[in-house]
């Protein structure tokens, strides 16, 4: 029970309930990240000053906490203490967050979402983001938001801790913004400085564009890039080519290799050769389908004809 915690002296309050309350109010999306922040912000308190000075946590992935240390005797020491470290981290987080600790090189760059933020945790050699965070001013509205959050707690002390935690979170956000982590103009998520949209938004944008490209190619299989662009201004040549070849593959796999007359076969040729219907003739249909013969649906006993059997010599 949150109300019954023995949180009478600072530093001894149980973070588990504080965190749970905070997280509860911040929504589950933040949850995981927030636990990670919590642990990595408090690394020195978890493992003690000496270990903290000689190690730097790199991040948490799939229940493994990755630590870098260039002190080999300390690494051996820590290897033996693994179970205790795991337990301390989990105790600190108030939930089972990791099940092992591994040593790693210093990570150059994060390869998954959230790791960047974890890496903001203070480490011995890097500049101390935590210290800088403390200098970030919060607006009256932000302070108010933190108070409101804390006021929900039954226990006064817990309430203060919750407000405090939330202020830290806000300061960290602002620090990152001030460090040129721009916000995604679409969803507001913080993103890599050189991007114009966050990874999520740019993926869904791309998906929308390519779906429109396919729609245009379904309606006008012969359309080339400039024509497609009239309908889908954001598309690129590469996108049109990629979507065309995906559609060619699919349609070919669905068309019988001996079929040269159906609408499907003709559509395939229009798509593949960018030929409008009025330019189709027996010769270009034959040639195009011959080129696609290995992509098309073939009956079991199919033997690929020789080229001269299909395409007569002396013609274009």
What is the x/- site pattern for Zn ion, positions 215-254, by CB under 5 A?
----------------------------------------
* Token representation of residue 55: 């190690």
Between 147 and 192, CB nearer to Zn ion: 192
Between 198 and 213, CB nearer to Zn ion: 198
Between 186 and 284, CB nearer to Zn ion: 186
Could you tell me which of 23, 62, 19 has the C-alpha nearest to residue 39?
Answer: 19
Q: Taking CB under 5 A as the rule, does residue 201 contact Zn ion?
A: yes
For residues 158 and 21, is the Cβ–Cβ distance under 8 A?
A: yes
d(C-alpha 128, C-alpha 130), whole Å: 5
DSSP alpha helix (H) spans, the chain:
15-26, 28-41, 43-47, 49-54, 72-93, 115-118, 129-134, 140-151, 156-178, 199-219, 225-231, 237-253, 263-273, 282-291, 307-310
Tell me the chain's radius of gyration from C-alpha atoms: 30
User: Where does this chain touch Zn ion (CB under 5 A) — which range of 53-61, 120-128, 152-160, 194-202?
Assistant: 194-202
Q: Which residues, 6+ apart, have CB-to-CB distance to 5 below 8 Å?
A: 13, 14, 17, 155, 158
Q: How far is CA 21 from CA 7, 16, 26, 115, 152, in A?
A: 15, 9, 9, 23, 9
Choice from 90, 186, 215, 236 touching Zn ion (CB under 5 A): 186
Q: Taking CB under 5 A as the rule, does residue 199 contact Zn ion?
A: no
Q: How far is the CB of 183 from Zn ion (least distance, A)?
A: 8
Residue 22's SS3 state is helix
Q: Taking CB under 5 A as the rule, does residue 202 contact Zn ion?
A: no
How far, in whole angstroms, is CA 171 from its chain's centroid? 23
Q: Taking CB under 5 A as the rule, does residue 183 contact Zn ion?
A: no
Q: How far is the CB of 191 from Zn ion (least distance, A)?
A: 7
User: Where does this chain touch Zn ion (CB under 5 A) — which range of 63-71, 181-189, 247-255, 272-280?
Assistant: 181-189
What is the x/- site pattern for Zn ion, positions 126-165, by CB under 5 A?
----------------------------------------
Q: How far is the CB of 207 from Zn ion (least distance, A)?
A: 14
Q: Taking CB under 5 A as the rule, does residue 187 contact Zn ion?
A: yes
Between 13 and 116, CB nearer to Zn ion: 116
Between 53 and 189, CB nearer to Zn ion: 189
Q: How far is the CB of 116 from Zn ion (least distance, A)?
A: 15
Between 65 and 184, CB nearer to Zn ion: 184
Q: Taking CB under 5 A as the rule, does residue 198 contact Zn ion?
A: yes
d(C-alpha 187, C-alpha 197), whole Å: 9
d(C-alpha 143, C-alpha 295), whole Å: 64
Q: Write out the residues near Zn ion by the rule CB under 5 A.
A: 184, 186-187, 189, 198, 201
């Amino acid at each position: 029970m949150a109300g019954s915690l023995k949180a009478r002296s600072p530093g001894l309050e149980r973070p588990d309930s504080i965190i749970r309350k905070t997280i509860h109010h911040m929504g589950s999306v933040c949850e995981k990240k927030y636990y990670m922040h919590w642990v990595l912000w408090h690394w020195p308190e978890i493992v003690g000053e000496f270990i903290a000075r000689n190690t730097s946590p790199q991040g948490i992935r799939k229940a493994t906490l990755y630590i870098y240390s260039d002190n080999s005797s300390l690494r051996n020491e820590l290897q033996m203490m693994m179970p205790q470290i795991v337990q301390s981290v989990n105790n600190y987080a108030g939930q089972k967050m990791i099940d092992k600790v591994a040593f790693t090189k210093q990570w150059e760059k994060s390869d998954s979402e959230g790791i960047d933020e974890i890496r903001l945790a203070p480490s011995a050699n890097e500049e101390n983001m935590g210290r800088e965070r403390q200098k970030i001013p919060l607006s009256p509205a932000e302070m108010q938001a933190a108070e409101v959050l804390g006021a929900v707690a039954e226990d006064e002390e817990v309430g203060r801790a919750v407000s405090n935690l939330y202020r830290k979170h806000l300061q960290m956000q602002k620090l990152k913004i001030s460090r040129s982590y721009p916000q995604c103009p679409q969803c507001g998520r913080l993103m890599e400085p050189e991007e114009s949209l966050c990874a999520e938004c740019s993926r869904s944008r791309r998906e929308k564009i390519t779906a429109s490209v396919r729609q245009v190619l379904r309606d006008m299989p012969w359309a080339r890039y400039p024509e497609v662009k009239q309908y889908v201004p954001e598309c690129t040549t590469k996108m049109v080519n990629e979507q065309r070849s995906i559609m060619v593959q699919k349609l070919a796999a669905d068309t019988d290799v001996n079929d040269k007359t159906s609408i499907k076969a003709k559509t395939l040729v229009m798509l593949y050769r960018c030929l409008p219907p009025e330019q189709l003739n027996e010769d270009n249909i034959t040639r195009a389908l011959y080129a696609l013969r290995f992509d098309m649906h073939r009956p079991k006993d199919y033997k690929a004809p020789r080229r001269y059997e299909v395409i007569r010599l002396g013609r274009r």
